[in-house]
Structure 1
Amino acid sequence: MQTAFLRTALVCCAGALLSACGGAEVAETPAAPATQVVAEACSAESRADARARRPALEEAALAAAQESRGAGAPALWKMSDEDTVVYLFGTVHLLRPDMQWQTPVIEAAIASADTVVFEADVSSPEAQRELMKFYTGQGFFADGTQLTSLLSGTETEELTEALQLVDLPVEALQPYKPWMAAINISVKQMIDEGFDPEAGVEKVIERAALEHGASFAFLETVDDQLGGLAGLGNCEQIDFLMATVDGLEDGTAALDLLVDEWADGDVNGLGALMSNPEMLGSQPIYDAMMTDRNARWVPKIEVMLESPGTVLVAVGAGHLAGEGSVIEMLREKGHVVEGP
């Protein structure tokens, strides 16, 4: 299951990344003329060294996750005061359609919510326009650079070979920046192997909330969610891409394991799988996808306690498990958060 953990981060942490690409084919943008290799402070050798360390880290994480056990159902947390209840529920953005995860307790929390809070609006027509604008402006090279001009010869060969597993020619990805290429590769494999955005937890919650007239709110904008990743330097983006390449051969085995851990409510197991920056490519990638966003969300969740009513906060499960999670940050600030 070598370095397939990047996809676990996507499925448990970054809904807009998946929602905008889910079900879509890789854009057939004509490749621009090649440019010279972009000089970077990092080297292909240093990237290779980091990649070589990941299998051992993953083996240890897998062992820890498999040894840990949960309560047998997805975890649900609760903060409350005299007139407010805030539920926190970890989601998986894509699931197999036959996945059964709801329990009476979870269903009751959804049904009681006056407001449902997601990471970002990715469903409304306005949000879809913003997503497409962001991907067009931040996901493609505008200066004639080609993707493989940023890679070493060995990395280009590895990318080209790995893309055969998802039936993509490397030419189709040449106009893409590395972070965008990584997302498209991962989403295509997930959907090809049976994961469906419409079966994702947010979609199920959204449909139920609409039925009982709940309102919706969001913790961040599209720029908040995607800007950190798109704003990474070429070195970090290439780390992100090559971590994706390393995991393609194993298909979605890591995702199935993560879903099992989530469905079992094994928060410790999820933390073991998710809380290692090197397994996601690098510390900057981890911060952009996880830590920085968690820190921005916590004050917004605290403010929810100031208004009466019941709120359900549903965010990627990786944000609620392990070191630096939203749950840990809230507890460190003195809040009583009931749950595992």
Structure 2
Amino acid sequence: MRTFTIAMTVTAMALLLGLPACGAREEPSPAVPQEEPADRAAQLEAQKAAYEAALSEAEASRGAGEPALWTLQDEDTTLYIFGTVHLLRPELEWRSDEMDAALAEADTVVFEADVTSQAAASEMMKFISTQGMLQNGQQLSSLLSELERAELQKALDHVGLPLGAIEPMRPWWAAVNLSVLQIKKEGFDPNAGVENVLGAEARAAGKSFAYLETIDEQLGRLANMPTDVQVDFLVSSAESIEEGGDVLDTLVSEWVDGDVHGIGLLMSNPDMMGSDDVYDALLKSRNEIWVGKIEAMLEEPGTRLIAVGAGHLAGEDSVIEMLEAKGYEVEGP
């Protein structure tokens, strides 16, 4: 089992990215030579051991029994900060009285990015056409070694997707598609995700919306990763394709219990991301930018509910820890 993928691919889609992210395109480079099998096996065993140790500690910790909610306020502004999961099983019950009260009180709901409007759909299409696809007729399989192509084909067979469907894609976009297909196959549904549910209720109630980043800013963090990192992302996704549902179920159970410590152990740290580049792109650098935007919200009177992926609110580089390091008093778990 590849813990890099567990934390980065499946959980990134569910607990970090409201949508896969985009940015400036770089020309693909040749695939990096694969590791020797013995070295690769040793690396995978070390990663598996690290994940199992983190899982054991996470399962031993406990939360408050409901998804975590924090409050940051001054004399004329109240900010509720709620950790979300972007894809959930439709039958899951996760609502709490505390969260419902925060939504009712808020005059503005703040999400990571706009993923529902017509403008967002157009922006997404433009981004993928320029940043998600290979250029000049190049094919994805040309970036992979024979062993990597075999791993990818097994994963594609598992989700029922032909190789030709992803051949024109850059590795990061192929990895996202592979991961989302697997999550959906396991019964997770973006329509049941927290943002979709809260967004529908907020629109019906006539609330305002705001966003912490654009689609380009969010997806660009994946698109701008070096090609060898993108290839590793894709191959890792393929290698752990069958474990994705079980891992996400574990993380969702930690989220429903409000076990912020457990979520931090399992995904919000560089060891579980497998790479400092990936950790920074998907989590740390985004959190740093968001903290500045949250500070600016305190200058505007009113009540806002900030709902972002739960992975951003756990671990030592979380939005909560960063706010507290700046001297803010954030009430919560």
Specify the TM-score bucket, using the shorter chain as the normaliser.
over 0.9
Same amino acid, percent of matched pairs:
53
For residues 231 and 266 of structure 1, do their structure 2 counterparts lie closer, same or farther at Cα, with a shift above 3 Å needed?
same
Cα root mean square deviation, aligned: 1.9
Deviations 1:50-91 (A, max 9, x none): 545321221112112111110000000000111110010001
2:222 is paired with a residue whose SS is helix
- Please say which of residues 147-156 and 322-331 is displaced more in the overlay: 147-156
Secondary structure of 2:240 counterpart: helix
Residue 332 (1) aligns with residue 322 (2): no
TM-score, length-normalised on structure 1?
Answer: 0.90
In 1, Cα distance between equivalents of 2:229 and 2:95: 37
- Tell me how far apart the structure 2 counterparts of residues 195 and 83 of structure 1 sit (CA, whole Å): 39
Q: CA separation in 1, counterparts of 2:278 and 2:33?
A: 17
Deviates more, 1:264-273 or 1:283-292: 283-292
- Residue matched to 1:39: 30
Could you list the per-position Cα deviations for residues 77-118 of structure 1 after superposition, in whole angstroms to 9, with x for gaps in the alignment? 000111110010001001111111111111000110011100
- Structure 2 counterpart of 1:143, one-letter code: N
Cα distance change on mapping 1:185 and 1:152 into 2, 3 Å: same
Partner of 1:17: 20
| Contact 1:236–1:281 (CA under 8 A) maintained in structure 2 | no
Match of 2:296 in 1: 303
Higher deviation after alignment, 151-160 or 68-77: 151-160
Deviation at 1:143, TM superposition (A): 2.1
Change (3 A) 1:192 1:274: same
Pair 1:177-2:170 in alignment: yes
CA distance in 2, matches of 1:116, 1:276: 28
Residue pairs, 1:150-165, within 5 angstroms: 150-165=143-158
CA 1:152–1:226: 2 relative to 1, 3 Å: same
1:23: which partner in 2?
none
Partner of 2:25: none
Question: Matches of 2:261 and 2:54 in 1, distance apart?
Answer: 11
- Residue in structure 1 matched with residue 245 of structure 2 by the alignment: 252
171-180 or 75-84, which deviates more: 171-180
Aligned-partner Cα distance in 2 for 1:82–1:246: 51
Q: 1:275-290 counterparts in 2 under 5 A?
A: 275-290=268-283
Q: Which runs of 5+ in 1 are unaligned?
A: 21-36
Match of 2:195 among 190, 198, 202: 202
Distance 1:257 1:316 in 2: 16
Distance across 2 between alignment mates of 1:59 and 1:162: 23
Structure 2 unaligned blocks of 5 or more: 23-27
Distance 1:322 1:138 in 2: 30
C-alpha displacement at 1:43, in angstroms? 3.5
Normalised by the size of structure 2, how large is the TM-score?
0.92
